[in-house]
Amino acid sequence: MTVSLYLFVISLFVLVVYLVLKSVEYSFCVFHGQIPFVPSAGRLRRAVVNEINSHYAYMQTACDIGAGYGGLARCVSRKCGKRVWALESMPMTAAILWVLNLFSFGRVKTVWCDAFEYLKTSDGFDIGIAYLGPGVNWRLREYSEKFRVLITLDVPIDGLHPVRTIDVGRGFTRYGRKKFPHRLFVYEL
Ligand SMILES: C[S@@+](CC[C@H](N)C(=O)[O-])C[C@H]1O[C@@H](n2cnc3c(N)ncnc32)[C@H](O)[C@@H]1O
């Protein structure tokens, strides 16, 4: 009885700490105009996997620019056979990402960083994947030489012309008052 009570209290404490930290990170993101962690929908992930396997199966590395808990990064690693770098700036989200990526047995590397700072000094990747929103996506233009292919979810990169736009079907992401239907924008650079 006492052990169960201890376990219950500890679980409750962990849950409360998690929710508080999550709210702090969320508020920080909103305040700084950065998209907070929202996992990509299953149909978007399937479309990314399909796109990579259909057109870029021969490529080796991918980078999820803003990986959240890494669902998309691990999906690409598992289903496309790529080595994936998962970049995440929020500390608690990055810590959870690191723990979950342990189950990828080294195929997904966690990097706690500002993705744009990291990209400045990195050698580059074959494929970049970004689910970052309209307020941030334009910044990817500056890093186009770091990728052979860039895939953005739901929002295009202003000033670049996609080689393909894939309509993923139902669903959307809301940024402010505007709804962006689920689509992939594929750029060959
Ligand atoms: C919408 S979530 C996408 C998560 C994941 N890519 C997916 O598809 O499930 C965006 C994530 O990008 C992170 N992020 C936003 N700007 C970033 C930056 N400059 N550097 C690193 N991470 C960033 C946020 O903290 C958030 O976790």
Q: Which of 175, 140, 168 is nearest to 63 (CA)?
A: 140
Q: Where are the domains of the chain?
A: 1-32, 42-188
CA of 10 to the centre of ligand 1 (A): 29
What is the distance, to the nearest Å, from the Cα of residue 132 to the centroid of all Cα atoms in its chain? Answer: 8
Does residue 10 register a pLDDT over 80?
yes
Residue 123 CB-half CA count within 13 A: 4
Q: Decide: 172 and 134 in contact? Cβ < 8 Å.
A: no
- Can you name the residues that pair with 115 across neighbouring β-strands? none
Note the pLDDT tens digit of each residue in 84-139: 999 999 999 999 999 999 999 889 999 999 999 999 999 999 999 999 999 899 99
Q: Decide: 128 and 152 in contact? Cβ < 8 Å.
A: no
Q: Where are the alpha helices (DSSP H) in the chain?
A: 2-31, 42-55, 71-80, 91-101, 115-121, 134-137
Q: Among the atoms of ligand 1, which is closest to the Cα of residue 45?
A: 8
Q: Could you confirm whether domain 42-188 is CATH 3.40.50.1470? A: no
Pocket test for ligand 1, best of 28, 32, 38 (most atoms within 8 A of CB): 38
- Tell me what pLDDT residue 96 has: 96
- Tell me what pLDDT residue 2 has: 85
- Tell me what pLDDT residue 56 has: 98
